[in-house]
Amino acid sequence: MVAEATKEKSIYAEMLAALQGRLAGREASWTKRLREDAIERFEQLGFPTTFDEEWKYTNLAALAKQQFAPGFDSKHVELDRSALQPFAYKEAKGSQLVFVNGVYSPELSSVEALPQGVIAENLADALSGERAEVVREKLARYADYQENALVALNTAFVSEGAFLLIPRGVRVETPIHLLFLSAPQSSPTVSFPRVLIVAEARGEAILIESYASTEEGAYWTNAVVEVSLEDGARLEHYKVQRESTEAFHTATTQVELGASSSFDTTTITLGAELSRHNINVRMNARGAECRVDGLYMISTGQHTDTHSLIDHAEAYCSSRQLYKGILDGKSRAVFNGKVFVREGAMQTDAQQTNRNLLLSNEARVDTKPQLEIFADDVKCAHGATVGQLEEEELFYLISRGLRPDLAQNLLTYGFAEEVINKIRVESIKAELDEAVLNRLHAKL
């Protein structure tokens, strides 16, 4: 006999009770309702399974089964600023918010370099502080927790994370760094980073969102980032995912673009045993543009999945997407890129490319670029490739005296450079150059 209605509650309901206990009294009624709504939705949806079309190639069974402890309960991790060095960027010394196991660390954070009026603070503070109304207006507006269980779960635990407000017309030159650092505990923990970024009309900023771990270990990061760019605002965004190779990383980046706004994002995926990134950009007003790029570079034991949705909901918008993948050993990548051009979105200019380089016979890629056009007078192109290094390119390098392994590494590095080269924050670029070369065991 199959039990139907008596679906067992997950460990997360209990975990939420613990969070609410900690927050007792300090919580607004709307966040309380939001949480309860979201956890209920999560319990209804449950973790996605591979029967779900959107999760066909990515199996969360191991994650669903794992008994995670809440990161907000983990014992205080002693970290000083020097321990932060390998994960920090010098450009953002005075503009970084640091989270350890999902919990904001005021001692490690600093926003002194940010101009007057720019808000960069722990979301938990924003929820209860003077900006609560702004947050309320935007939070959970874009990332839909009705359809996505992982977003629902994150929303249920909404608290720690970042709130960023770039006021009207303000241009912030200093990159702002959100560092989500995990310090693995004896038993695996889960953290729910939540980020809300609002750039008012013509506001401009550079944001780095990075995930790293102090050492190898098992844990789960389940993040949601919501970005709202108002008319003419610009955001240059970098996501650098270097979680432990024993970790799970699931994240949704949900972006809403106003008229003539510009969103330029690059996602670098090097870490995690299993990672899934949903990146959705809704171009909701005329003249918006986005560039959605990524590089994943994984090896034996790693699985990464990118699902992107570029939604041309209005006319005169342009999107460019370039995702490149390098797979070594027994690893697997999934790329699913949808571009929607909705009715009336004339003069849409959309391009999408996914290129994959397989360095081993055991690596596997499933790529599916999808273009759905419901408008006339549009310019759209998409394509995907999966291949090995070009024999003729290899021979060319070898014929100049390079040993075959060095030639291979150089070509692989060159493949990655197309994405890395566009990064305008020098120390991210340097970090990635080094990471790529380390992966290749090469010194150039």
Partner 1 sequence: MALLEIRDLHASVDGNEILKGIALTINRGEVHAIMGPNGSGKSTLAKVLAGHPSYEVTGGEVIYEGKNLLELSPDERAREGVFLAFQYPVEVPGVSNAQFLRLAYNERQKHRGEEELDPLEFKDYLKERAKVVQMDSSFMSRSVNEGFSGGEKKRNEILQMAVLEPTLAVLDETDSGLDIDALRIVAEGVNQLRTEDNAIILVTHYQRLLNYIVPDFVHVLANGRIVREGGKELALELEEKGYDWIKNVGKAGASLAPQAG
Instruction: Note the residues at the interface with partner 1 (CB under 8 A).
Output: 390-393, 395-404, 406-407, 410-411, 413-418, 421, 444
C-alpha 183/C-alpha 78 separation (Å) is 10
Give least dist CB 369 to partner 1, A.
Answer: 20
Residues 151 and 167: their CA atoms lie apart, in Å, by: 27
Q: CA quadruple 101, 105, 110, 111: dihedral positive or negative?
A: positive
Please say which residue, 201 or 394, places its beta carbon nearer to partner 1.
394
Minimal distance, residue 209 CB to partner 1, in Å? 25
Q: Which two tokens stand for residue 289?
A: 């543009």
How many CB atoms within 10 Å of residue 243? Answer: 26
Nearest to partner 1 of 150, 435 (CB atom): 435
Fill in the DSSP letter of residue 266: E
Nearer to partner 1, 374 or 396 (CB): 396
Tokens 């090097």 locate to 270
Min dist CB 346 to partner 1, Å, is 32
Distance in Å, CB of 404 to partner 1, minimum: 7
Reduced DSSP (H G I as helix, E B as strand, rest coil) percent helix, strand, coil of the chain, to 5: 25, 35, 40
- DSSP notation for 1-62: ----S-PPPPHHHHHHHHHHHHHTTS--HHHHHHHHHHHHHHHHH-S--TTSGGGTT---HH
Q: Which is nearer to partner 1, 135 or 295 (CB)?
A: 295
Indicate the residue among 378 and 437 with the shorter CB distance to partner 1: 437
Distances in Å between the Cα of 228 and the Cα atoms of 39, 166, 268, 282, 315 are 24, 10, 22, 10, 19
Nearest distance from residue 90's CB to partner 1, in Å?
A: 21
Nearer CB in complex with partner 1: 32/403: 403
Please report how close the Cβ of residue 297 comes to partner 1 at its closest, in angstroms.
Answer: 13
